[in-house]
Structure formats: structure tokens, C-alpha cells
Structure 1
Amino acid sequence: MITVVVPRMNANDESCTIQQFHCLNGQAVRSGDLLATVETSKATIDIESEADGYFLALVRESADVRIGDNIACLFETLEELHAFRETAAGAPARHDSAGYKLSHQARDFAELHRFSPEELRSLNKKLIKLDDLEELLRRKGEKQAERIALSKNQKQVSRTVTASYATIPRAFLLMKVYCDDMLRELQLLGEKLEEFVGFGEVLPVMLVPLLEEFPFMFGSFQKDESFLPAVKVNVGVTVDAGAGLYIPVLKHADLLRVERAVEAMTEYKFKALRNSFEEADLLDGVITVSLNTNPDVVGVLPIIVPGQTAMISVGAVMKELVLADGAVAERRYIHLGLAYDHRVVNGHYAVRFLTRIKEKMEQFRAAL
């Protein structure tokens, strides 16, 4: 017997959902045949057979499983498969230590509505089914508002944020950056390329030359208290088109020419709208840019993605009045933030890094 396990598909997801099995129980399969499709918070992954055999699913479709769980088996013969099923069917049911057992649907329903053990025992049943709990809920006359389930994508955001706050001692720096010249150049560049060009398209390009000067901003803190620097600058950029937050990664090759970076970001925005990211789109980032440019957003304190050292945040374009040659004039600026891993980077280093970005933005034409 060969077990089929859920492989690790990225650094963040610890669980996934069985979207579909592509084989019937008892069906003969060959090495390389498609067995199942699983869905993570970010993408769908196909699992192929590693050997010839007869297929048997161990979980149902739509089930949530953890990375490393057995979801199916392959048997050399049908006789071996049937013997396995008979043995499993004859195994005695395991009752909960509380004196009852919940069906899969009932367990999910009980967790959703927070039934206490006392309430469940009050049913006086060895096996509690969904119908029993629905009746119990009706009798309780529950007045609470119905809970709203979080999307898989938002659950993954929750896990990433929790891991960041729990494991990365971060510091934060905020700078004022004047951007009139940059905004004019971005508009001209957008007209030339016939695409929208904003901070998310060009700021990653401006980071590439800084790798050699500021290596500690591009890499990750290691368990042995060393630092692993990045070889290439792959920049994650936050994208939220209303279907959830994603951080697709602009690869180093895309950042060598601003035209290619604009093209790649346009493609990522369409993928965000359609929720059609591939796993490779979201991997290998070494630093991240958080875009928060909605009107009146003064500044944002971003997290640091686990496995990275820093995240840069961009706030909304603001305006102020200044005296220019004795006359009142309007000037535009943004707040540029930097959250950095204080185990690796100290304040002086962070100030130098953010100052270099500020200089590039305020002298944008020369920087490009």
C-alpha cells in the first residue's frame, strides 16, 4: 500500500481543501495520472500518482486537511484494497470521552454555535447528528447574530499576520517624501505605455540597485542568529481588488525594465480580480511594498512577511501650502514607511535605506 499525502506547497499554508478527486474508488491508475486537486488560500494544486495501483480515497471531497495528511491510498491489487476497506469498516466506533460522538457535519455545526459539553450531553445520544443540533439550536432560541465565515484567503492572511507579530520584533520609521515631479513623470510614463503607472509599478524597480548597498534589507533572519542575504531582488506588492489581499511577487527579471514591471503588475491586478493566481506568482519575495494610497490615509504600520526583513508602506498623496518666491503654492507629498526586523537592522541603517529611497523618488527622472 502506498499512501498519498498532501505535499507542502508554500511556506505559509498549513492546511488546504480537497477540491476534487479525479479517480473513482477501485479505479486502476498509472504513475503520473492526476489523482486530486487541492486548494490552498492562494492557488489550486494538482496531485499526481507516484506509482501504479488501485485508488481509494480516505477523505471526502470538500474536506479540509492539513499538510502531510493521508488523503488516499494506492494498492497493488483489488483484493488488497477490498481487505483494507473491510478492516476499516469493522473497526469499532471510537466514542468521545464525554460519552458521545459527533458526525463530521455535527462537529462543524457545534463549533460554529459553541455548544457546551453539557448541552451536548443533554441530548442523551451516543452519536449526535446535524439534525439533533439544529433542533437543539431551535430550542435554545438563539438570539445572537449569525456568524460570518472568513474566506480561505483571509484565514491565511490571519495566520501570516499572527506569525509575523509572534516571531518578528519589528521597529518602524516614517518619512515625508515630496512627489510632485514623480507624479508628473508617472502620468507621462502611463500615457506612453497606455497603462496605469503608480508607486506599485515603479518603487520595486527602484529597489533593485539598493541590494549591494543595503544587503540586510533583502533576506531573512536564521534560527542560528545569522542572516541569509538575497541573491536577487524579488519584490512583493500588496494587491487588493476587492476579492481579498494578495502579495504577488515581481521577479528580478521583471524589475530590470520599468516597462516590464508595469506589464507584470497589470497582469497581477487582473489575476486578483479573477482570484486566479498561480503558486509561483506568490513565492520567493525578499522584501514587500504595501500600497495604502486611498485618499486621506496618512500612514500605515505594516507587518513584516515571515522570512523577510522589511516591508515598505506608501500612504496617500497629501497636499500642503508653501511659500515659493513670495507666493503661496501647493505641494504634494506622501508618507513613506519602513517596518524592519530589529534583530537584523538598527535605526541608523534603516534611516539611510529609507533616505536613499526618498532621494530616488524626489529625483525620479534621474533614478529611472
Structure 2
Amino acid sequence: MNPIRVPKLNNNDVRYVLVEWLAAEGGHVRPGDPVAVLETSKATEEISADGDGILHRIRAAGDECEVGEVIGRLFASDGEHHRHVAVGLAGPSEQSDPAASGPGEVVVTERARALARERGISWERLAGLGKRVVRAVDVARLSADSAVGPRAPSTPVAGPDHAGDPRTPVGPSPQEAVARVVAESHRTIPTAFTVMRMSVGRSVVHARTASRSARALIGLPDLFIQAIARLRTEFPAFYTAPDGVADQRADAVHVGVTVDVGTGLFVPVVRDADRLDLGEIATVLTDHRLTAMRRGFRASQLTGSSITLTLHNEPNVVLAQPIVLPGTACALSLPAVRRECALTAAGGVQEVEVVDVGIAYDHRVINGRDAILFLDALRRAIESPA
């Protein structure tokens, strides 16, 4: 009898929602078969079976499950499964199959409820979809079909047991996950911060030229991602995953990049960024922005970063201090480009384009002198992009 446990999908949450079972109760499951869909505060992820056997479901769709919790079991044979069910060995904590719930009961996932509240969609409209499990994509489709824009709802979306109760919370939002990560970072990581000014005029021109060659819209973030990824060999400590006093050196550079298109803050990962050209990096970032608009990230897209780049390129943003994500050693911030006057070597005055790039770093892993050397190497790469 093999247990099916809830895996650790990210550093933001300690519990997830069991959205739906993909394998039938009593069905034969093989190693690697997808068995269930879990939803974190920001993404959904399929989990697969580690072994072979007959599935017995313990937790029901819509349940909140903690990391490591057993949500199902695999039995060696139909007979063993039937005996287990017949004699009630599951114990009082094991819940019945969701199919046994009464008709009309609708499970609305946390992300779906948060989006419904944001779009002003009532519980009655969600229930009217006729779905056993309502997911965020269903709410987004309903909102688009009825041309409902963001507004405050008159009735909270809490479920049939709480409809009409204004005190009932809708459930955790992506912002609550952000709050947990920020609190964890401040609590556990002794952070230092350094800033260096960089001239980006040549990089701006280079990005335009590269856009025409790659037939993709390439901008400064793409150049910074590429430059950051290529510094790993020279500065391996900046790409570590701190684990107490021991550090594990990254074998590839996966750059986490902040994306916020009005649906919440996400940090999807550009994987193997040190092996991608500018056009490929631009394509990945574009895909991430489109996925953020649909709030359709999978957990695997939001985990595994070895370094982070936070984008603060709204006009007039001069400086930003990023959060060092738990499990990483540092994070860089890229603010908006601004124009200023500078002296030339001949004593004249010229207009230049600059950014003040910041790096927040775990002082247990990185020292201030190393942070300065890293920023200076990044500056040289950005100021001479060709």
C-alpha cells in the first residue's frame, strides 16, 4: 500500500487546494500517471503517481491539504482495496469520494473565488455554470463572455453555506502569498543592499537592432537577463541555494523575473537562461506575461529560480530594493531608464541614459565587496552589449 502525499510545490504556501482527481476511485494507476490537480495561491499543478496500484481517494475535491499529507493510497490489488474499504481501515480522518456529495454542491477553488470577487461575479452565476469544480479559467471566461469589468461585488463569493454573509472571507489571494514570502525573507535572511549606476544607451540601441534580427520585441530586461545569466562562472556564489551553512552550486541559471500585469505579482522562471539567445529570452518573457494575464501558471513555472530580477520600469522609478526570495542568495532590481547630463572626456556636456541597478543579497553567502564586483561586471556587459 503506497501513500500519495502532497508534494512541496513552492515556498509561498504550506497548504494547497485539491482541485480535482484525474484518476477514478478504484482505477488502476501506473507510475507517472497524473492522479490529481493541486492549486497553490498562484498556480495549478498536476501530481503523478510514484507507484503502481489501485487508487483509493482519501481527500475530496475542494479540500485544503497540507504539504506531506496523505490524500490517497495505492493498493496492490482490487481485493486488497475492497478489504480496506470494507473494514474501514481508513480511520475517521479519511473522507469520502467527492462524487458521493449531494447534487448541487459546487467546489470553487481559491483562485477562482478571488477572481470572481475582483470581477464582481456572484456565487449564483458560478453555480449556474453547471460545473462540479469551478476554476479560475472558468471565471475568466465567464467574465469575458459577459463583458464584466473589475468592480466590487455586491455579494461575496464564499459558497452556498456562506452566501450573503459579508463577514465571510473569500479565501487567500495571491497577495497573501506575497506577504508570506516577504515576511519569511525578512525573518530568515540577513539582507544587505548595494546600488550601481549604469549607462544603458548602447544597450537600448543594441536591443532595437536585435529586435529586427530576431523578429521579436527585445528590451532592456532581456539584455539584463542574458548578462546576469552569463556571470555565473565568474560569480558562482550569487547563484546558490543556501541551506544552512552549506551551499549547493547551481548547475544551470534559472532567472526568476517579476511579472505584474494587474492580476497579481508572479515570479515565473526563465529556465537555462545562460543557454538562450536574446530572441528566445524575449519569447519566454512574452509567454510569461500572457500567462500572467490568464493567471494560468503551473507551479513548475514559478519554482527553481537560482537568481531573481525584479522589474520596476514604470516611468520615474529611480531606485527599488528587491526581496531576496527564500532559497536564493540575491535579487537584482531594474528601475526605469532616465536621461541626465554628463561630462564628456573633453569637458563638454552630453545627454546619457542611465539606470540605478540594485542588488539585495544574503550576507551569509555574499560580502559587500563581492556584490560591488558583481555589479561592476554586469555594468561592463550592459555598457558594451556587442
Q: TM-score with structure 2 length normalisation?
A: 0.71
Please give the per-residue CA displacement for 1:309-359, whole angstroms capped at 9, x wherever unaligned: 111101111122346678764332111001011112221111111111112
- 1:228–1:85 Cα change, 3 Å: closer
Structure-to-structure mapping, 1:315-326, within 5 angstroms: 315-322=335-342
- Residue pair 1:42, 1:277 contacting (<8 A) in 2 also: yes
Per-residue deviation at 1:148? 6.5
- 2:216 aligned residue: 195
**Corresponding residue of 1:289:** 309
Q: CA deviation at 1:63?
A: 1.4
Q: 1:74 to 1:346 in 2, by over 3 A?
A: closer
Tell me the CA shift for residue 131 of structure 1: 10
Instruction: Specify which of 252, 259, 278 is matched with residue 239 of structure 1.
Output: 259
Given that 2:196 and 2:358 are in contact with CA atoms closer than 8 Å, whether structure 1 keeps it comes out as yes
Matched position secondary structure for 2:322: coil
Q: 1:236 to 1:327 in 2, by over 3 A?
A: same
Where do residues 88-99 of structure 1 align in structure 2 (5 Å cutoff)? 88=92
Q: Within 1, Cα distance between the matches of 2:2 and 2:366?
A: 48
Stretches of structure 1 that go unaligned for 5 or more consecutive residues are: 90-104, 106-129
Give the structure 2 partner of residue 43 of structure 1.
Answer: 44
The match for 2:102 is none
CA distance in 2, matches of 1:2, 1:232: 34
For residue 173 of structure 1, report the CA deviation from its aligned partner: 0.6
Alignment of 1:1-368 (within 5 A): 2-23=2-23, 25=25, 27-32=26-31, 34-40=34-40, 41-48=42-49, 50-53=51-54, 55=56, 57-74=57-74, 76-84=80-88, 88=92, 149-151=171-173, 153-223=174-244, 225-252=245-272, 255-322=275-342, 329-365=350-386
SS of structure 1 residue aligned to 2:315: coil
Aligned Cα root-mean-square deviation (Å): 3.3
Change (3 A) 1:81 1:345: same
Following TM superposition, by how much is the alpha carbon of 1:297 offset from its aligned partner in structure 2, in angstroms?
1.1
Aligned residues: 316
Query: What is the distance in 1 between the residues matched to 2:305 and 2:297?
Result: 15
Using the size of structure 1 for normalisation, the TM-score is: 0.74
The secondary structure found in structure 1 opposite 2:230 is: helix
1: CA distance, partners of 2:356 / 2:290 = 27
Quote how far apart the aligned CAs of 1:243 are: 2.1
Question: SS at the partner of 2:234?
Answer: coil
Confirm or deny: 8 A CA contact 1:322 1:331 kept in the other structure: yes
Contact 1:36 1:48 (8 Å CA) reproduced: no
Instruction: Give the match's secondary structure for 2:352.
Output: strand
Which sections of structure 2, spanning at least 5 residues, go unmatched? 94-106, 108-158
Contact 2:203 2:223 in 1 (8 A): no
Cα distance 1:335–1:77, how it changes in 2: closer, same or farther (>3 A)? closer
- Aligned to 2:46, the other structure's residue is in SS state strand
What corresponds to 1:99 in structure 2? Answer: none
> Which AA in structure 2 matches 1:31?
R
**Contact 1:254-1:260 at 8 Å conserved across structures:** no
CA contact (8 A) 2:4 2:49 kept: no
What amino acid is aligned across from residue 29 of structure 1 in structure 2? H
Identity %: 27
> Alpha carbons of 1:156 and 1:35: their partners in 2 closer, same or farther (altered >3 Å)?
same
- CA gap of 1:337–1:84, structure 2 versus 1, over 3 A, is same
Q: Cα distance, 1:280 vs. partner?
A: 3.5
Asked whether the 8 Å contact 1:234–1:287 carries over to 2, the reply is yes
- CA distance in structure 1 between the partners assigned to 2:205 and 2:70 by the alignment: 56
The 8 Å contact of residues 254 and 306 in structure 2, kept in 1 or not, is answered as yes
Report if aligned partners of 2:181, 2:325 keep a CA contact under 8 Å in 1. Answer: yes
Q: Which entry has the higher C-alpha Rg, 1 or 2?
A: 1
336 and 20 in structure 1: CA distance in 2 versus 1, 3 angstrom threshold: same
Amino acid at match of 1:309: A
Contact 2:252-2:274 within 8 A present in 1 as well: no
